[in-house]
A and B are shown apart, each in its own frame.
Chain A
């Protein structure tokens, strides 16, 4: 039952991009300044919604990575680690306020470079980015109450993904700096622009040179950074495959490591669930940020007695999703971040069909240019299907059914991953018992994809180790 309205047709409501000033080319941010790369090649970053080139960005080579680590080391030993916590806090509060002041600009830039709807970068990403800086600024002078000591680890090498570019930067940089560490951060190849804007904010905040260094580039730059001899701590968010490679390279060294990797979360809907809100939770669980979310609810486990009803309602709701220009304020589903990712989503969806699952997408026109994939749901999926086991990292939901709570637990836990899970039921005792038995770092009850700086986040099994956020997020940066 498509419900696309013929009567009330929303006119385009694009957010202006005039607020953003993108330079033609960017250097690396090392020692408090933008510098030209010495041995790296330039590369281009594009707007995934239009394939338009946004800017030319430098790829850091080995000498550049050396320079950045050296700048971080110097700042660590000469200024930052010895600075009283209350002084460090002032810088972090200042950064947080600057992020709020420039929130609109940063939101537009994030949507341009990443493809996510402005509604999400404006209402989710940016408020959270500021909140993480405010939260960890508050910890900087209270570390002795953290339970993890007060001594910083040293230079942190941080490598972040393209799905929440600025938010992942905040998760990494805010706790590291609060604890007195200095950082070299590598943003993802396809989404470097907000990290570079953040570098400007560090300058605006007069953060001492070298405390934050940003080296752009692809996988090679990341590898050189994490394998560098003079880094003390590695924090990585990204694919399980790369995470494993990093874990191997770190083995036998004294480097400390936290990994936040993939997921294949079960979103479990019981027959007594608040059904309209559960539908919203299923939708935000898998279609939020085009499904480019490591903790996405990509497996819907629905109790057999309500499966037909839930699916019917889900399809109806999916036909109201608005896909298109990420800068339009009414867009619900933006662009897939890259051609490579789009190809991967297409392949896995084709495999789902070949394996016999039934594919359904709402009628929705895709723009001619750019990278797009319609919100898709697969029914008739079993545990053995690849689309039930592998992370698709796109707007593709696999639906399985269960009859009893035990069966739900068995299926939910039967995955190499363990990042998140969701439980939908009106019964409080069932929420608690499910949460105890689900092997996942985060269990949401009657909600999904909610984040808060005070709450620790991280995985079980192949979803990684270590926690980010909350008091627990300090542990990786203190000794």
Chain B
């Protein structure tokens, strides 16, 4: 990483930042702290933005186009994945103006099924890997997990970091693991899941964000969805600030994906407001901002229909899978 003299002086990255755990620690702990009360107050204040009429229409369609439509259950079947793929391609079968979602997100063994459905449609196949959600496996096992998903056609890999190593200060170990997973991804995009619900502090969220970006993440993602709290607004805010500052320092843009707990149109719009007022237009596209969700799409569709017709449909007017 080249030494830069950009604006963010506090985040100038030394060339040998990952040469030892000590230098990595020195850099990460030298990042500006996050005041919890202030960060939460800022997120709460942005959550009061009132998004109406045309702005709401735009936000609903944009949110749909940013969804990683997800199913990550032990009971997932090929049938369910095929159904989800059909929905990803035509979220509202009655309205061809409704945008497609960004991706389908499944376990590695179902990548082949999803890819067969989606092919070159433009809707990506994302796969969790690295022994999702706990990440508790030997590194060779995690790497094999990634390679298998990529071999089956995954366009994107959602890996989990080793939270145990991170919390005990073994930053270099976490870094090396991400670097190796990134190498195993080949051309597939790498999203690094921080599992912020287990990191406990916003300082840790900021450090983990930078660590993942330094190691080559294309996206940083809040959560697996298996741990609560998942994607809270203040966490997403802190991660957006991190990608903004990282680009100031390095020139490289990294995407953000909140996942877990975003269920309603209101939640989704609040996330878009956060993006809009923290990092702006450059991140307001599915290339740079994704929302990991399963039930959110139905609520967006119901709201979208309400905007078009003036009345609400019942829950049976959208499909369950």
Contacts and interface: CB of A to CB of B under 8 A. Distances in A.
Contact of A273 (B32, B37, B62): B32
B97 interface: no
A62 interface: no
Nearest to A448: B38
Contacts of A10: 49-52, 55
A281 B9 contact: no
B78 interface: no
Per DSSP, are chain A's interface residues mostly helix, strand or loop, or mixed?
Answer: loop
B10 A309 contact: yes
A196 B137 CA distance: 70
B38 A330 contact: no
Interface stretch (A1-9, A78-86, A405-413, A453-461): A1-9
B5 to A, nearest CB: 11
Interface in A293-307: 305-306
B7 to A, nearest CB: 5
B52 A446 contact: no
B7 A276 contact: no
B50 A329 contact: yes
A384 interface: no
A41 interface: no
Nearest to A426: B33
Interface size class of B (residues with CB under 8 A): 20 to 34
- Of the listed residues B9, B35, B41, the one surrounded by the most CB atoms of chain A closer than 10 A to its CB is B35
A11 B56 contact: yes
Nearest to A445: B35
Nearest to A424: B35
Per DSSP, are chain B's interface residues mostly helix, strand or loop, or mixed?
Answer: helix
Nearest to A328: B50
B277 interface: yes
Interface in B28-49: 32-35, 37-39, 41-42, 48-49
Contacts of A123: 48
A273 B35 CA distance: 9
Given A277-B38, A308-B7, A9 B280 contact: no
A415 B55 CA distance: 47
Interface string A259-293: 00000000000001111110011000000000000
Contacts of A320: 277
Interface string A9-38: 111110000000000000000000000000
Contact of A5 (B34, B52, B54, B280): B280
Contacts of B10: 275, 306, 309
Nearest to A3: B280
Contact of B38 (A11, A12, A280): A280
A123 B51 CA distance: 18
A281 B32 contact: no
B49 A330 contact: yes
A123 B277 CA distance: 20
B59 A446 contact: no
B15 interface: no
B276 A5 contact: yes
Contact of B281 (A7, A12, A274, A275): A7
Contact of B35 (A12, A13, A313, A446): A446
A335 B55 CA distance: 24
B34 A274 contact: yes
A309 B9 contact: yes
B317 interface: no
A12 B52 contact: yes
A119 B44 CA distance: 12
Interface in A339-391: none
B67 interface: no
B34 A276 contact: yes
B241 to A, nearest CB: 5
Contacts of B276: 5, 7-8
A446 B38 contact: yes
Contacts of A276: 32, 34, 38-39, 42, 241
Contacts, number: 91
B2 to A, nearest CB: 19
Contacts of B284: 5, 7-8
A102 to B, nearest CB: 21
Contacts of B7: 308-309, 312-313
A332 B104 CA distance: 38
A50 interface: no
A11 B281 contact: no
A45 interface: no
Contacts of A280: 38, 41-42
Contacts of A13: 50-52
Contacts of B56: 11
A8 B55 contact: yes
B272 interface: yes
Contacts of B309: none
Contacts of A305: 9
Contact of B55 (A9, A119, A277, A313): A9
Contacts of A5: 276, 280-281, 284
B8 interface: yes
Interface in B52-67: 52-56, 58-59, 62
Contacts of A274: 32-35, 38
A398 to B, nearest CB: 22
A274 B234 CA distance: 14
Contacts of B59: 8
A391 to B, nearest CB: 26
Given A11-B54, A277-B39, A308 B48 contact: no
Interface string A61-103: 0000000000000000000000000000000000000000000
Contacts of A7: 58, 62, 276, 281, 284
A447 interface: yes
B24 to A, nearest CB: 20
Contacts of B52: 10-13
B221 to A, nearest CB: 21
Contacts of A3: 280-281
A22 to B, nearest CB: 24
25 contacts: A3-B280, A5-B280, A5-B284, A7-B62, A7-B276, A8-B58, A8-B62, A8-B273, A8-B284, A10-B49, A10-B51, A10-B52, A11-B55, A119-B48, A272-B32, A273-B33, A274-B34, A275-B10, A276-B39, A276-B241, A277-B35, A280-B41, A309-B10, A446-B37, A447-B38
Given A13-B51, A123-B48, 16 more contacts: A5-B276, A5-B281, A6-B281, A7-B276, A7-B281, A8-B62, A8-B276, A11-B53, A13-B52, A274-B33, A276-B38, A276-B42, A277-B42, A308-B7, A309-B8, A426-B33
